[in-house]
Structure 1
Amino acid sequence: MLLVCTTFPLIWVGGLVTTKKAGMAVPDWPNTYGYNLFLYPVSEWIAGPFDLFVEHGHRLLGSAVGMISIALVVAIAIWDKRRGMLTLSIISLIAVIIQGILGGARVIQDEVLLARVHGCFGPAFFALTVGLAVATSKRWHSIQPVVHPGSGRLQVITVITAALAYVQLLIGSFLRHVPASGSHSDFRVAVIFHVIVAFLVAVSVFAVAATALRGFSEAVAVRRQSMFAVLIVLVQIGLGIAAWTFKYGWPTFLPGGEMFSQLVIHAESVAQAGVVTAHVATGSLIVGVTVAMALYSFRYYSTSPASLVPQVADKSTLRGVSL
């Protein structure tokens, strides 16, 4: 859980780096203006320009996530005897290393494509940390799977929902990192698809909630998470409209434009940066929650009676001590 709780703020700060166009505030990597990353003077970091403060802070927080990932691998190797968990923890460590290299390459090359890949890979890593937290939780170990005739439907819907949520992030990344060669029509098409997929994500999340609440009383975690997903999707829709309004004005396809006709938002203002960054981070949160729903839907229900033989974890298994 510690890894999840540090990765999510990292996504917030990373989103702020992009929003404030601070990605090139520190021109070298892995150093910071010639200093070792961890030896850069705190006084210069705190008192320096805001873009430097954000970018260097992003690097420090990313390093902390990397260290926690190393600790997680060690902890699972010692206390959790499930081979798959050790493999997943190693994959997460490799993923955070790759993400760090992508971030560094983005600085060295100053390339929009690398910035986009870096922005898409972060939420994928966050989803992986959520999966690790779920699989090492007390709730996960306490669940006794049962056979349910409609479980396949619930599992399919949750997987589709998680996939749609991530696809939505990919489209959003294109809108955030528009290439120099991109045309107005390319941007318009991306916006249209972003709106369409947002609608599909909302419908899918509501479908999961309706399905889980109607006939799956055993799946307590899925039911609770589906309701939380409904809430954050509604918040995300509001943030999306607000982000567009703060950057481009009130959407012309929505009523009430006259109310905002005199609204003036300064580019890269605190309000604009806060709303846009919150929209980005909430998108990653939706991915994390939907991944957790999908995992729990498979944990609660088995497709065959033969698979109900419990795989008892070793007493030394991590139980709720997920780093």
Structure 2
Amino acid sequence: MARGLAIVTAAATLVLILFGGLVTNTGAALAVPDWPTTFGYNMFLYPWSEMIGGIFYEHSHRLIGSVVGLLTLALAAALWRRGSTLRVLGVVAALAVVVQGLLGGMRVVLRQDVLAILHGCLAQAFFALLAVIVLLTSARTRAPLARIEPSTRNLALGAAAVAYVQIVLGALVTHAGIVDHHLVGPFAVFVIVPMLTARLRRSGDAVAAPLASVLLALLGV
């Protein structure tokens, strides 16, 4: 059950992030001026016939976010029974989705760009957390794993850090118009990620080696 919930929650979160991008890129971020209501309506009772233009993107984003929130709480409950690391990750995911919802709502109420930046950055971190949960609930992780060299682990952490910094810089470009450092980030990502994937493929690890190919494909996208 936890495995299926994790996959569904991650997939729904990906859709939510895509809609978040549409909200930003279509200029619909403040198409709905109030929160948690929608033009005074209960958010879940807002007429579908009124969802036109920017309202469609913004209100759909809210509705999908609500679905993700409920799925995350259900996932946290399922992981609680698994104990250990998964229990902790479930609690962190539940807290993160609540904070993410509040950031999105306060962005509308306070109209502060810094909240939009935090909202966008946390979304990517939350999706990464769900990806980890999907991985850890897989049967593959219970099989004997090949030994990963400490240098490879450090490289993986470095690659994750560089990629996330690039995400933060991208948010600064979108919401604050700060472009300079964002232009450097892609070069760092395109150097460190292929180095990491090459090492992981050579490791022969049942989990890391296949994921390395996926990571390299995503880099190309």
Do they fold alike, i.e. is TM over 0.5? yes
Moved over 3 A (4+): 145-148
Matched, 1:208 2:196: yes
Task: Report % sequence identity.
Answer: 36
Q: Distance in 1 between matches of 2:147 and 2:64?
A: 43
Is the Cα contact below 8 Å between 2:37 and 2:43 reproduced in 1? yes
The residue aligned with 1:307 is none
Matched, 1:55 2:61: no
The residue aligned with 1:34 is 40
Q: Which has the higher helix share?
A: 2
Shift of residue 146 of structure 1? 4.5
Shift of residue 192 of structure 1? 3.6
Q: Distance in 2 between matches of 1:212 and 1:129?
A: 21
SS at match of 2:184: helix
**Structure 1 length-normalised TM:** 0.64
Is the Cα contact below 8 Å between 1:17 and 1:23 reproduced in 2? yes
Is the Cα contact below 8 Å between 2:145 and 2:206 reproduced in 1? no
Matched, 1:162 2:156: no
Shift of residue 147 of structure 1? 4.0
The residue aligned with 1:9 is 15
Relative contact order: is structure 1 or structure 2 higher (C-alpha 8 Å, sep ≥ 6)? Answer: 1
Is the Cα contact below 8 Å between 2:113 and 2:175 reproduced in 1? yes
**Structure 2 length-normalised TM:** 0.92
The residue aligned with 1:223 is 209
RMSD over equivalenced CA pairs, Å: 1.5
The residue aligned with 1:69 is 72
Where do 5+ consecutive residues of structure 1 fail to align?
Answer: 179-186, 236-323
Larger gyration radius, structure 1 or structure 2: 1
Give aligned pairs, total. Answer: 215
Q: Distance in 1 between matches of 2:145 and 2:180?
A: 41
Is the Cα contact below 8 Å between 1:22 and 1:51 reproduced in 2? yes
Choose from 163, 176, 184 the match for 1:196: 184
Q: Distance in 1 between matches of 2:73 and 2:219?
A: 33
Shift of residue 156 of structure 1? 1.1
Q: Distance in 1 between matches of 2:87 and 2:201?
A: 34
Q: Distance in 1 between matches of 2:169 and 2:209?
A: 28
Matched, 1:144 2:132: no
Q: Distance in 2 between matches of 1:227 and 1:209?
A: 7
Where do 5+ consecutive residues of structure 2 fail to align?
Answer: 1-6
SS at match of 1:126: helix
